[in-house]
Structure 1
């Protein structure tokens, strides 16, 4: 399988600075998106620390790992790199009063062969568009999701809740962090969307699916998603990473002929 990537980020209409950070390493088929939180510019610091640390450390591991690296190996490498980024952000927050309490949500993807490994912390999300249908394939670490799981509110009620931004897990807030990692089979034609809540809070799944289906290129689709989120209010920073899978050209040998 071959993969095409594109990323974009926008400040939105209500914020004066952008605390989101996105990073792509096409050579390693690694993508990372973070949505920072904290006073002053601390959220921006946390998200940039997360994306740069994970791209650097996990990218090096992927470069050295053989194609035979097991599912366990990949999951462990992702978790260890996020734990190290968590510790770096946590230590920085405790060393600088202006960065106290900073943290970031996170979603990252590792694409290898016919599979993708997705890791996330908080409410930054990953979706998959397959055969025109969009499906969320990460599960938020948020108060709203816990209320939905407990049957206290419906998903429809959650869409209009004032508690959308209350996450129950973030990178850098505590000394340790748990990364949820899931493995998904990839089919040719799949499009994977990683985004901050500045997109998913502004657009419902059907709107995102429609825009992804209508985009002739990943760049056009990303621009359409961000434009629609801004049209809907743009209440937060908006970041997207898109990845599209296509089958590798078949390798054929002229010898030996078979009769």
Structure 2
């Protein structure tokens, strides 16, 4: 594979949308979309501050990605997820009413040359390539484990009473064990990261059809509308990225959902001691 020039570094065109849905009183999802990072964090905990867990985790990763370089993308993602866990743990000790808060996290990141994914929980990452949709992430749920072991069929899983039980999360108790992998992406690939407010209600074929809409923002709006039309029983967040190449640009992006100043445990950007500060970001 030829070496990349400064003019053809991997990055994303992106769009992000979120909706509270028709049932939940407020939005506990957080999303971030930028030219080098796409992520969704779906907070769990209700009164135990799921929105604080999701916002703080999303901010920890996005701020570290903006400020730092790292020689190993998967190592970087693992380190920031550990930092987010420690923030939640320390905050729960100070605020006992928040004990039990947790969040999923699914993120795809590029350093301009390679791409990597980190995944904890049941938010999903999909790849649309040449009209075919592939699920990149593997749900960390009880129902998925039972499917994997042959104890449930896909059809039986649709009505299984414990579909919402998540086996892995970024929380205030145990350090998470994220799935980490490098991704072989191509120019023109479309990526979707979404909360289960979409994937629980909209099937893969319709996700593929709507993700194929030319304008990324229109695609995100259509995906959310499809989930709302099917009952909107949870918060719905969609972050879309299309792989392109170009010179390195500013790494800032934008947040959607719960990720505002009032929900951050620590508004100070995360700086990892093992990673040198990126120059010119």
Q: Same fold (TM over 0.5)?
A: yes
Change (3 A) 1:160 1:206: farther
Deviation of the 1:248 alpha carbon: 4.6
Higher relative CO (Cα under 8 Å, sequence separation at least 6) belongs to 2
Distance in structure 2 (CA, Å) of the matches to 1:88 and 1:24: 22
Q: Matched residues in 2 for 1:248 and 1:23: separation? A: 21
Q: Which has the larger share of helix?
A: 1
Aligned to 1:4: 13
Query: Partner residue of 1:255?
Result: none
Structure 2: state its 5+ residue gaps.
1-9, 248-281
Q: CA deviation at 1:40?
A: 1.7
Deviates more, 1:16-25 or 1:109-118: 109-118
In structure 2, the residue corresponding to 1:40 is in which secondary structure?
Answer: helix
Distance 2:164 2:172 in 1: 15
> Considering only CA atoms, is the larger Rg found in Structure 1 or Structure 2?
1
- Quote how far apart the aligned CAs of 1:163 are: 1.9
- Is residue 23 from structure 1 mapped to residue 22 from structure 2 by the alignment? no
Q: Any unmatched runs of 5+ in structure 1?
A: 250-259
User: 1:162 and 1:11 mapped to 2: Cα distance?
Assistant: 24
TM-score by length of 2: 0.81
Query: How far apart in 1 are the matches of 2:245 and 2:61?
Result: 28
CA apart distance, 1:114: 5.7
Q: The residue matched to 2:156 in structure 1 has which SS?
A: helix
CA RMSD in angstroms, aligned pairs only: 1.6
Give the TM-score, by structure 1 length. 0.87
SS at match of 2:171: coil
Counterpart in the other structure of 1:190:
189
Other-structure match for 1:228:
226
Q: How many residues align?
A: 238
1:247 CA displacement: 4.7
2:238 and 2:116 map into 1 onto residues whose CA distance is 17
Partner of 1:57: 64
Question: How far is the alpha carbon of 1:24 from its aligned partner?
Answer: 2.5
- Equivalent-residue separation in structure 1 for 2:135 and 2:229 (angstroms): 22
d(CA) in 1 for partners of 2:159, 2:209: 21
Q: Secondary structure at the match of 2:16?
A: strand
1: distance between equivalents of 2:128 and 2:33?
Answer: 20
